[in-house]
Copies of this chain bind each other. A is one copy, B any other.
Amino acid sequence: MIRLGLFGCGRIGRVHADSIDVHPQAELAWVYDPIESAAQDVAKQYGATAAPTVEVALDDPNVDAVVIASATPTHVDLLRRAACAGKAVLCEKPIDLDLARVDRCWTEIAALNPTVMIGFNRRFDPSFREVHERIAGGDIGRLEQLIIVSRDPAPAPREYLAASGGLFRDMTIHDFDLARFFLGEVVEVYATGANLVADYIAELGDIDSAIVVLRGADGALCHITNSRRSVFGYDQRLEAFGSAGMLSVGNQHRSSVRLSTATQTEAAPEYLNFFLDRYTPAYRAELDHLITAMEQGGQPSPGFSDGREALALADAAYESLQTGRTVRLGRRVSEV
């Protein structure tokens, strides 16, 4: 049995509490949130104890791992402290909005050889994962082109977006990681964007629609399409085109029902609404991966360097957006 502490009891924190709850080898011991009532709510719902401070959880020798689902600016500090306390860590994305802070964090904890997993849940979506496995199994030959479409149902509120680090660090970062999952290292980034959805996003100096083009080290091309608003629901699709075929993943509907009437045929119902529905199995598989790694003594993946690289791609995307140029990536995490 793996005993866990959870830092952060907001929307995403509750997702993790739920995953821990249904996992047969996991037990939620402590929950912490600066808003005490939030911590108590989650503690009550899942049979855990609300910790008055983070230390209480980190000092508990019976805690094996912590999930960091708090506000982004707190991630690196919590991650460092958890690593120093010898706990395994599942940290939500992004590690931080500042690559330099991320690198400093790693410098401080690398010697501890910590068990760190970054919460890029898409790698654990059963359909995306199946595509990854079938490519490895040779179903489409060599991967040549990867198309990722990722659109949110509706933009987050102004306050959230103001602190989000911008589209590429907040939203596209999932797609950067997904691209790396399929392409391996990325050597070129081009990004362009537009303000089409909401005026307040432009006022924040950010874009709300984007197209990003990547080139992998092995020559495969990838493009990512993002929007902060999709009226027909969470739009999460992927196509992997190869020398011998194509594997694609479409959106998932609320049910299998189709309606034909005098004006249209075979209309499907809404897509699964946002990440809480769409990626429930992914969040659970993500936790399971960490627990399996802990029990078998290996390093979970995606790890710290994957979190670092996805952020580096986001930075490169902003550089490309500003310069209109392809940005070539040279540094590797191993050189940090």
Contacts and interface: CB of A to CB of B under 8 A. Distances in A.
**Could you say how many copies of this chain the assembly holds?**
4
A83 interface: no
A140 B231 CA distance: 10
A247 interface: yes
Given A260-B232, A265-B268, A265-B271, A192 B211 contact: no
A214 B238 CA distance: 21
Interface string A318-334: 00000011100000000
A223 B251 CA distance: 20
Nearest to A239: B149
A134 B265 contact: no
A260 B246 contact: yes
A127 B269 CA distance: 10
Contacts of A256: 127, 249-252
A230 B239 CA distance: 13
A130 interface: yes
A265 B267 contact: yes
A150 to B, nearest CB: 12
A192 B194 contact: no
A295 to B, nearest CB: 19
11 contacts: A22-B22, A144-B196, A192-B213, A196-B219, A232-B245, A232-B260, A233-B265, A245-B260, A251-B256, A264-B267, A266-B266
Interface of A: 22, 126-127, 130-131, 134, 139-142, 144-145, 147, 149, 151, 188, 190, 192-197, 209-211, 213, 215, 219-221, 223, 225, 227, 229-233, 235, 241, 243-253, 255-271, 324-326
The list of the 3 closest CB pairs from A to B, nearest first, reads A267-B267, A324-B326, A232-B260
